[in-house]
Amino acid sequence: MHFRSPSPVSPFLIAAALFAIFVVLGILYESFIHPLTILSTLPSAGIGGLLALMLLHYDFFTHRPLIGVIFAEASNARSPPMPPTAGLRVWSGGE
């Protein structure tokens, strides 16, 4: 299989994607610090996911959803906790 070399624009696109994620998280959390803490957990979560796949001898390309779950959990670990009754209000359609 032949892979193409990366485009010279690739670093710019990655930086633009990270900036867009930072802006969206900043809007959601109404803070500049919380998006930084969330984005700082992603590299270690990705490395941990890849190490787990390597230790268990799983193929990376067939187990990509596992890494997605790890990234999602890393992001959720930084979100503020909700009171137990908040989920019931949302589920029942009440305010």
- Average pLDDT over the chain reads 75
Tell me if 2 is assigned to some domain: no
Tell me if 21 is assigned to some domain: yes
pLDDT greater than 60 at residue 5: yes
Tell me if 74 is assigned to some domain: yes
Q: How far is CA 13 from CA 9, 33, 43, 45, in A?
A: 6, 23, 18, 22
67: containing domain? 10-92
Tell me if 77 is assigned to some domain: yes
Would you state the pLDDT for residue 86? 63
Are 50 and 67 contacting, i.e. CB atoms less than 8 angstroms apart? yes
Tens digit of pLDDT for each residue in 35-72? 888 888 888 888 887 888 788 887 766 666 666 666 66
Tell me if 27 is assigned to some domain: yes
Amino acid of residue 54 = M
Mean pLDDT to the nearest integer, 15-33: 88
Are 79 and 86 contacting, i.e. CB atoms less than 8 angstroms apart? no
pLDDT above 70 coverage of the chain, percent:
59
Tell me if 1 is assigned to some domain: no
Domains: count for the chain: 1
Mean pLDDT to the nearest integer, 3-32: 85
